[in-house]
Structure 1
Amino acid sequence: MENKIIIDSAVSLEHIGSIFQILSKVPQFVEKNAKVSAIEVLPGGLTNYNFKVTVDDVTYAVRVAGPGTHEYLDRPAEKHNAQIMSDIGINAPIIYYDEFYGHQVCKYIDDCITLHIPDFKNNAEYLKKAAKVFRKYHTCGKQFKAEFNIFRECDAYLKILKEKNSPMYEGSDLMLAKVNEIKAAFEKNPQELAPCHNDPLCENWLDDNKDLYLVDWEYSGMNQPMFDVAALVIEADLTAEQEKFFLKEYYGSDISEKQYGLLIINRFLCDALWTYWAILQIATGKSHDEYWPYGQNRHNRAMALVENGSLDKAIAELNK
């Protein structure tokens, strides 16, 4: 019988080839001589390319890792960390993982929707649910394989950018000075580390009307939990009132000035990191027109916290 495949017109020939190559490495597919019947693009993802693929009438999420990502991402650590999160019901079940390149096949969460900015910004219930998910894995007691040290990450990105003689945004010297000032403050006031996702953008959240899942754990590692909270606050474009509501839901109580200050500090660090990341994408061959404005927006938002004094206030609160 002829095997017909329905392929989304947005899927390139290159990615079709990559998808079939990845599926050919999955033992259970090879053993059954499994057949692909449909491929479609999944939303979200700046680093990688994601697809919904139907194999023998079962749907899977296939991630084709972005070119060059194995140069700066710890793929073996991601495999370890993501499996822990699958085991406790936070991540989708993992079927296959390529430890070198980072290609991945997961069970697709049936009847789910991918969340977007308006879902969090306009629906307080999603903020409550996300706060509970964060608390669940931040306090799970598990140990991730790697540490996501924001300062080492920034140094690593900047080292590559210097080697490639990449242009930087105006004001980048002041940004780096503030990063180093925060580093010194954390050395004086060490923060407890916990398993963290480190990139919980809105499109990494899936809702199947029963559970809220958080997927794509490639930047995961032990980190201070407030980095995750700050990342979602930024990605969901929450107002000051909403971020305080979110923090209260996360802690389960009223928040202190120091707790709110930690959010401000981590908002700055998060935007600083992704500023450097955006320039790195350009340096490794991705579109300047796409990534330069993205990084500029990150840079401007981080520096606004410097200009309005809220970052200095937060650092002073940490140092009390």
Structure 2
Amino acid sequence: MSTTERRLGEARTQDEAAIEAAIRRVPDWQGREATYKMLVGGINNRNWLVAVDGHPRRYFVKVPGPGTEKFIDRAVAHQAAVNAHAMGLAPEVVYFDPSDGLEVHEFLEGYAACTNADFERAEIQEAVIACYRQLNAGPKLGLTKTIFDMIDEHWQDAKALGAFLPHDFDWMMKQYGQARAAFEASGLDLVPCFNDPMPGNFLVSPGKPMKIVDYEFASNNERAYELGVLLGEMFFTEERSLQLIEAYYGEARPETVARVWIGRALADIKWAGWAIQNRMLTDWDFDYQKYGDWKWARARSVILDPRWEWWLRLVASGRPQPR
């Protein structure tokens, strides 16, 4: 994958031809020279840093990857990004083409993407919790897609594509069904959610507020899941997880902790399905099968916790905790 900077007309690969075509589509850039350089880190899409002659700032351009329209609602992702920018949580959306989801954002100069190591720092953890409290309190999105909708979609697609299913798939789906029934018995706490806490989606700069980018998986979803997928993704200890649950909600009630802990397992079931079905749609420049198998194993480890049945009972008999 080349990260060489090129000017318009110098494309040498299919990806470079695609970004040149994208640049020429942006109305405010018509007739201007531009340079572009691929950014490292995109999995679903190709991401580019673009500089346009006569413009004082640089731009982040996302060219959607093939097949991603199956599980990404680009219009809702755009809505979420616009809402987040209005709240001071995201860069400005400069251009969006609803026909294929092409996105252009301001490039946040001086910001760097977080790593897993950054999330060992208390100030980073607390900044994310503060961002989530604000984001989850924002206006509802045009799409309600719960964690249960996501799991069903990914695994139905995986089976339809002929993907290799884990040996204990039926057992896991039974546990998933019990978790779903528990949440539905108590009622879902639906709020606008980010749903995708990869470390690189959180940008930081000394003395500046944290920003969140990449709203492709945003939807109205269960609040406790938003926190559960974050705690699981960042490998927080149970002690630290309880502290962050308290920081988010104001207190860590047993039924709320149970909702978040079950949300962790649901997150891994969802991302395992995402990876295993995505393996069938790509050219394997990322080892989706290995990633999916690892996520599946993590879900299994939570479900095999002796407290699993107790958590289910707490969720089924309780109500969502107000924040």
Same fold, judged at TM 0.5 (above): yes
Deviates more, 1:240-249 or 1:125-134: 240-249
Q: Kindly indicate whether residue 296 of structure 2 is the aligned counterpart of residue 303 of structure 1.
A: no
Work out whether 1:146 is the aligned partner of 2:137. Answer: no
- Helix, strand or coil: the match of 1:52? strand
Aligned to 1:179: 176
Task: Give CA-to-partner distance per residue, 1:77-136, whole Å, 9 cap, x none.
Answer: 222222111221112111122324322111011110110111112x10011111110001
Q: Extract unaligned runs of 5+ from structure 2.
A: 318-323
Q: Give the distance between the partners of 1:89 and 1:311, measured in 2 at CA.
A: 38
Letter in 2 for 1:139: A
How many Å apart are 1:38 and its aligned residue?
Answer: 4.1
Equivalent residue letter for 2:117: P
2:38·2:46 contact (CA, 8 Å) conserved in 1?
Answer: no
Q: Cα gap change, 1:171/1:245 in structure 2, threshold over 3 Å: closer, same or farther?
A: same
Which letter does structure 2 place at the counterpart of 1:64? V
> Following TM superposition, by how much is the alpha carbon of 1:191 offset from its aligned partner in structure 2, in angstroms?
2.1
Identical positions, percent: 23
Match of 2:29 in 1: 29
| Correspondence for 2:116 | 117
TM-score w.r.t. structure 1 length?
0.90
**What pairs up with 1:307-318 in 2 under 5 angstroms?**
307-318=304-315
User: RMSD of the alignment, in Å?
Assistant: 2.0
1:235 aligns with one of 233, 239, 264: 233
C-alpha contact (below 8 Å) 1:49/1:64 kept by paired residues: yes
Cα distance in structure 1, aligned partners of 2:35 and 2:72 = 32
Q: Out of 49-58 and 275-284, give the one that drifted further.
A: 49-58
Match of residue 200 from structure 1:
197
In the aligned structure 1, how far is the partner of 2:84 from the partner of 2:104?
Answer: 15
Distance 1:12 1:231 in 2: 40
What CA distance in whole angstroms lies between the structure 2 residues aligned with 1:205 and 1:215? 7
Contact 1:81-1:145 within 8 A present in 2 as well: no
Q: Which amino acid aligns with 2:176?
A: V
After superposition, the Cα gap between the structure-2 partners of 1:100 and 1:277, relative to the gap in structure 1 and judged at 3 Å, is farther
Residues paired across the two proteins, number: 308
Letter in 1 for 2:277: L
Task: Write out per-residue CA displacement over residues 115-172 of structure 1, whole angstroms, 9 at most, x where no aligned residue.
Answer: 0111112x100111111100011112x1101012222222222222222222111211
Amino acid of the structure 2 residue aligned with 1:238:
F
SS at match of 2:273: helix
* Equivalent residues in 2 for 1:137-286, closer than 5 Å: 137-140=135-138, 142-209=139-206, 210-251=208-249, 253-286=250-283
Q: 1:129 to 1:289 in 2, by over 3 A?
A: closer
**1:234 Cα offset (Å):** 2.0
Return the offset for 1:254: 3.2
1:90 equivalent to 2:98? Answer no
Q: Measure, in 2, the Cα distance between the counterparts of 1:92 and 1:158.
A: 33
Partner amino acid, structure 2, of 1:265: I
Cα distance between partner residues in 2 of 1:97 and 1:287: 28
> Superposition pairs for residues 129-140 of structure 1, below 5 Å?
129-140=127-138
Please give the alpha-carbon distance, in whole angstroms, between the structure 1 residues aligned to 2:25 and 2:286: 35
